[in-house]
């Protein structure tokens, strides 16, 4: 069943709990302050539970971790959570991303009561393992996170929550290759994208990561060209979306390596 039929929306509360550099990670997270509706819209729910040592992890989470988990979760959502059944449920999972990007210590904090929906949420994270390494500026051993997965939230949720991340009915975008791709510095990778469900087949391409402008490389009409030197960390994401419905999108993670490092 196409992702466009999904009603399930993963909402990112952006209620990030940042602790002072000299404050040890608590055994129980401190209650988060109220979060504005504007912060909630168009993102994914995650809380940072450990000491960030003053490092701003928002670019890493928004451009690297969250899109990957969202894409993998959408692919696993069970039929009962899709239209026309649209079963509701919330799942909360805590885990840690270590310096090398590997996930450890996954555990359920809240179950939806539905095994299939719990498995889909768990799989959204485990299928994303490993993530790119944590930013070099961070000297800690891991980043502890709590993810909230919401299936078919009520209309009492903040405005636009059900439409920001859900493609319009019938509009889908697919990308090949997808997942994780290795490209040498200065090299290129050609992607093929298709859009269905709309007469307007124009697509918009972008590349993003913990870098800026040409340091991330460039993408033009599906052809990604890597920079002459790998960014730090050496990962970027190429995303293609429909101009008719920008929420209908697909993406691939690119690992940029020196030619001698390819394996």
In the chain, domain spans: 3-164, 172-261
Q: By the 8 A CB rule, do 106 and 94 touch?
A: yes
Tell me which CATH homologous superfamily contains domain 172-261: Cadherins (2.60.40.60)
pLDDT, position 17 = 30
pLDDT at residue 132 in the model: 93
Per-residue pLDDT at 163: 28
> Given this model, what pLDDT does residue 262 score?
54
Statement: the pTM of the whole predicted model exceeds 0.85: no
What is the fold, at CATH topology level, of the domain defined by 3-164?
A: TolA/TonB C-terminal domain (3.30.2420)
Per-residue burial over 183-195, b if 16 or more Cβ lie within 10 Å, else e, is bbbeeebebebeb
Tokens matching residue 27: 């055994």
Asked if residues 164 and 237 have their Cβ atoms less than 8 Å apart, the reply is no
The predicted structure's pLDDT at residue 155:
53
The list of the chain residues with pLDDT below 70 reads 1-44, 154-169, 210, 260-263
pLDDT of amino acid 204: 94
Number of neighbouring beta carbons within 10 Å of residue 251? 23
Q: Count of CB atoms within 10 A of residue 76's CB?
A: 17
């Amino acid at each position: 069943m196409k992702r466009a039929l999904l009603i399930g929306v993963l909402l990112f509360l952006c209620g990030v709990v940042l602790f002072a550099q000299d404050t040890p990670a608590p055994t129980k997270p401190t209650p988060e302050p109220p979060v504005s509706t504007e912060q909630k819209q168009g993102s994914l729910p995650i809380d940072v539970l450990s000491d960030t040592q003053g490092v701003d992890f928002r670019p890493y989470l928004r451009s690297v971790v969250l899109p990957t988990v969202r894409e993998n979760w959408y692919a696993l959502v069970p039929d009962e959570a899709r239209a026309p059944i649209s079963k509701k449920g919330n799942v909360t999972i805590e885990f840690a991303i270590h310096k090398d990007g590997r996930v450890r210590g996954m555990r359920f904090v809240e179950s939806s009561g539905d095994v299939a929906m719990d498995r889909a949420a768990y799989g959204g994270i485990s299928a994303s393992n490993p993530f790119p390494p944590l930013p070099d500026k961070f000297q800690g051993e891991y980043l502890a996170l709590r993810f909230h997965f919401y299936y078919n939230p009520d209309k009492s949720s903040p405005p636009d929550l059900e439409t920001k991340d859900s493609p319009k009915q019938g509009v889908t975008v697919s990308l090949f290759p997808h997942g994780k791709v290795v490209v040498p510095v200065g090299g290129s990778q050609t992607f093929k994208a298709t859009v269905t469900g709309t007469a307007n087949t124009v697509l918009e391409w972008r590349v993003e990561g913990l870098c800026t402008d040409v340091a991330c490389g460039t993408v033009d009409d599906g052809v990604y060209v890597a920079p002459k030197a790998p960014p730090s960390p050496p990962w970027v994401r190429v995303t293609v979306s429909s101009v008719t419905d920008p929420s209908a999108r697909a993406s691939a993670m690119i690992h940029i390596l020196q030619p001698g490092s390819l394996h």
